[in-house]
Chains A and B, each alone.
Chain A
Amino acid sequence: MSTQYTVTATPQAEESGSVALAVASLPASFGPVAAGDAASISAIDGAPGWTTEAIKAIDGGASGIVVVNPVPENTAALLDAAEAASAAVVLDQRWASNPGLAGAEDAVRSVAGRAAMLDTVATAAAGTDPERLLTEHLAAVVRVTGQLDGLRVLRLGTHGYTVSGRFANGAPVSLQGVLSNSRPAGVDFRLYTDDGGVSIAVPEPLAAWPAEVRATGPQGEILLPTLYESAHRTTWRRLKEHLDAGTLPSDLAGFARLTESIAHLS
């Protein structure tokens, strides 16, 4: 029988990461910590200062950390602390953690050399911080495309943003953020090639709505398997796999690249 890990979560992480629901859906792997005991897993919110909070949790004995929706921040010290303590740090990102993106990544990268245009739109409620939305959007995009060249903010304001970039082959990339209460929040991703392309619709992690990934070519269109698992539960399940195997996830290294990209946005 595998180990059951005990969990504690900050109220903010509970709110933004639906921790109780995710943990309850993995009852053999995780359970709430008893009052007065130290939990083996700590869930924290990714608000500014999250790397400091994560280091504190590792110093307090946590062997696993879940960070919900982290904002760009220097992760070097946290990476050192995690490696020194062999603590697994996983990031629960709003859209980038959706399990459907693994298949999408293969579909996108197999045609990226023939890319003609990438047009992607993230929608969030009116009043959302556009910079935070851009981070969440870009995280999901680079998860499937890999690094993009020449990223540049063309405008950013209360109604959204437009960011331009390029694929390695020079094809134009456009990321748009739209703030509105009249459209479902999520990411719409459309990569066009010379004879088709890949479209991805990434839903909110509020429920186990699947991402829809469609690869279109001359022979027709393939809907990749729909995975009815929320980004939150996927993250927790991935943490369990690392803990059981004794491996360290690469989330922080990937997030460092994202942070660098955001910092260099001109």
Chain B
Amino acid sequence: MSSHSQAATRPLGVGILGAGPVTQAIHLPSLARLRDILEVRHIMDVDATVAESVAARVGANHSTSMDALLGDPDVDIVAICSPHQFHADQVIAACRAGKKAVLCEKPFAMSGEEAARISAVSEETGVPIIVGAMHTFDPGWLAAEANWGDLPQNVHTIRSSIVLPPNARFEDFATEIITRPAGGTPDYSDVEVIKNALRGGIMGLAIHDLPLVRRFTPDFEDLEILQARHVSPFGYVISLRSGDRIIELRAAMNKTWKPEWVFEAISDDAALRVDFTPSYVQAGSAVATITRGTGTRNATGTTYGPFEHNGYEGEWRELAQLALGTKQPPSAENLINDLTFAIAIADATVDEAAAEHTQHANSHAGAHS
């Protein structure tokens, strides 16, 4: 075999910044299914023991510094799985290091200013970036998208409903975790705790589906908050109006064993329902059903999926294509708009939820005085 053909068939090298539960439970199992095209070559974590241990699982190099990973010539694709506040700077550094593609876990920035900086660097360097909003890469969703026709133009109601147990349950189904962030017992009588929980819910959980919502929301900058309420211990009830469309977001994380993750877009005469599989586990794709009808008694539906892989694997397949130049990168503007949409919802709903919380606390105090 010639050296040229060896180079052509060698898998692309992957480097991962941050070796916490997401890397351990999501990315390494997904990459294990794609060994013919992708190979983990470098794991970085600020905890040297974690970096070494996780790297050993896949026979990769390890380090405790971003510069060491970005300087590793065997790394073609960089995945950023660090805490949210580091995302923007690390995406920019990966682009400037001349890597072939970057995956940034959601959210890829925490402000519009950060997003604009990323966009500028991506344009300047030509390095494609994708954000790990896994549902947008789910084959069930993509099949629906290819078949929904004019539904986005006619939708009047959009719903996202998420019911999940704590992450640890599905992490443990996906791998053997070696480190977990310490959990606490929040004081939900403190309005600041409520505000932080709600912002975390939107930027950490709802953000999975907000790019999907935005596909059906052309006037996404025109947002009216109808309600925003915290669900104990972690979740939200949010109702929004965008132009003539209603957006209903629901989430409840509790000790249930029964996950539900449903996205719906509804018009007068057609409806899309997508049932996603839970986070972390490799449980195949979503199942999407598009129903059309001129009456509730004679609607007909077409179902897409389940397919064998989920959106996590879909992300990596896409990254490989981007790195090889066989697929056009997503527009940076699209990623910025997704982020702007999420931040706008988070900013507006946090204040609304705080007001609701205070009002309820006052009415309770009045009732007991």
Q: Is the CB of A171 within 8 A of B269?
A: no
Q: How many residues of B contact A (CB 8 A)?
A: 40
Least distance between B263 CB and chain A CB atoms (Å)? 14
Q: Which of A109-126 contact B (CB under 8 A)?
A: 116-117, 119, 121, 123-126
Contact digits for A141-167, partner B, Cβ 8 Å, 1 yes 0 no = 000000000000011000110101010
- Determine the chain A residues whose CB is within 8 A of the CB of B242 once the complex forms: none
- A166 CA / B357 CA spacing, docked (Å): 12
Q: Which of B239, B256, B294 contacts A216 (CB 8 A)?
A: B256
Q: Is the CB of A178 within 8 A of B269?
A: no
Q: Is the CB of B250 within 8 A of A174?
A: yes
Q: Is the CB of A154 within 8 A of B226?
A: yes
Q: Does B157 contact A (CB under 8 A)?
A: yes
- A171 CA / B236 CA spacing, docked (Å): 11
- A180 CA / B266 CA spacing, docked (Å): 7
Q: Is the CB of A116 within 8 A of B248?
A: no
Main SS at interface, chain A: strand
Q: Which of A172, A185, A192, A221 contacts B296 (CB 8 A)?
A: A185
- Determine the chain A residues whose CB is within 8 A of the CB of B364 once the complex forms: 170
Q: Which of B246, B255, B271 contacts A180 (CB 8 A)?
A: B271
Contact A182-B227, Cβ < 8 Å, known A116-B235, A159-B246, A193-B254: no
Least distance between A188 CB and chain B CB atoms (Å)? 10
Q: Which of A95-133 contact B (CB under 8 A)?
A: 116-117, 119, 121, 123-126
Q: Is the CB of A117 within 8 A of B231?
A: yes
- Determine the chain A residues whose CB is within 8 A of the CB of B257 once the complex forms: 196, 218, 220
Q: Does B292 contact A (CB under 8 A)?
A: yes
The chain A residue sitting closest to B258, CB to CB, is A216
The chain A residue sitting closest to B161, CB to CB, is A119
The chain A residue sitting closest to B361, CB to CB, is A170
- Determine the chain A residues whose CB is within 8 A of the CB of B255 once the complex forms: 194-195, 218
Q: Which of B226, B229, B291 contacts A183 (CB 8 A)?
A: B291
Q: Which of B352-369 contact A (CB under 8 A)?
A: 360, 364
- A121 CA / B159 CA spacing, docked (Å): 11
Least distance between B58 CB and chain A CB atoms (Å)? 36
Q: Does A17 contact B (CB under 8 A)?
A: no
- A15 CA / B195 CA spacing, docked (Å): 51
Q: Which of B44-96 contact A (CB under 8 A)?
A: none
Contact A155-B156, Cβ < 8 Å, known A180-B267, A181-B293, A182-B270: no
- A117 CA / B250 CA spacing, docked (Å): 9
Q: Which of A119, A164, A181 contacts B299 (CB 8 A)?
A: A181
Q: Does B268 contact A (CB under 8 A)?
A: yes
- Determine the chain B residues whose CB is within 8 A of the CB of A193 once the complex forms: 254
Q: Does B110 contact A (CB under 8 A)?
A: no
Q: Does A69 contact B (CB under 8 A)?
A: no
Q: Does B103 contact A (CB under 8 A)?
A: no
- A183 CA / B265 CA spacing, docked (Å): 11
- Determine the chain B residues whose CB is within 8 A of the CB of A197 once the complex forms: 256
Q: Is the CB of A182 within 8 A of B231?
A: no
Contact A194-B271, Cβ < 8 Å, known A117-B231, A182-B266: no
Q: Is the CB of A155 within 8 A of B241?
A: yes
Contact digits for A183-225, partner B, Cβ 8 Å, 1 yes 0 no = 1110000001111110000001010000000001010110000
Contact digits for B234-261, partner A, Cβ 8 Å, 1 yes 0 no = 0101010100001010101011111000
- Determine the chain A residues whose CB is within 8 A of the CB of B252 once the complex forms: 116-117, 192
Q: Which of A117, A124, A206, A218 contacts B237 (CB 8 A)?
A: A117
Additional A-B contacts beyond A160-B246, A195-B254, A221-B258 (15; CB < 8 A): A117-B235, A155-B246, A170-B364, A172-B229, A176-B159, A178-B266, A180-B157, A182-B268, A182-B271, A182-B291, A182-B299, A192-B163, A193-B254, A195-B256, A204-B296
* A contact set with B: CB distance below 8 Å: 116-117, 119, 121, 123-126, 154-155, 159-160, 162, 164, 166, 170-172, 174, 176, 178-185, 192-197, 204, 206, 216, 218, 220-221
* B contact set with A: CB distance below 8 Å: 156-157, 159, 161, 163, 226-227, 229, 231-233, 235, 237, 239, 241, 246, 248, 250, 252, 254-258, 266-271, 291-297, 299, 360, 364
10 sampled A-B residue pairs with Cβ under 8 A: A164-B227, A164-B239, A180-B267, A181-B299, A182-B293, A185-B296, A192-B252, A195-B256, A218-B255, A220-B257
